[in-house]
Amino acid sequence: MDASDAEGMLTRDREGAEVIPLRAPRSPCPICGAPATRANRPFCSRRCADLDLGKWLNGSYRIETDEAPPDREDGE
Ligand SMILES: [Zn+2]
């Protein structure tokens, strides 16, 4: 009775273990979704920052102003 053939069953538990960064990834660039860089936060690059600025200039974004809406109705 030989019980020495248990070595034949090597359990494989290292199947490309992913290295998960401890820090949460920075929020992605709102323009292209690439990871933002420190220099261009929250964008990934100067280019995307400029693109975002362009959006503002084009009026794609709502620009908050100090002016209150002329007719304000607080129905709720
Ligand atoms: Zn970008």
**Given a cut of 60, is residue 17 above it in pLDDT?**
yes
Could you tell me the distance, in angstroms and rounded to a whole number, from the CA of residue 20 to the centre of ligand 1?
Answer: 23
Instruction: End-to-end CA distance of the chain: give it in Å, rounded.
Output: 83
Could you tell me the distance, in angstroms and rounded to a whole number, from the CA of residue 30 to the centre of ligand 1?
Answer: 7
CA–CA dist 70, 76 (Å, integer): 18
Task: Render pLDDT for 21-30 as a digit per residue (tens, 0 to 9).
Answer: 566 556 899 9
Instruction: Pick the more confident residue, 33 or 15.
Output: 33
Task: Render pLDDT for 30-41 as a digit per residue (tens, 0 to 9).
Answer: 999 999 998 998
DSSP string covering 7-61:
GG------S------SSPPPPBPTTT-PBPPTTTTTSSSHHHHHHHHHHHHHT-S
Binning pLDDT at 50, 70 and 90, where does residue 20 land? low
Domain ranges for the chain: 26-60
**Does the model's pTM come out above 0.75?**
no
Give the residue carrying structure tokens 């998960």.
20
Could you tell me the distance, in angstroms and rounded to a whole number, from the CA of residue 25 to the centre of ligand 1?
Answer: 15
Q: Calculate mean pLDDT across residues 13-28.
A: 65
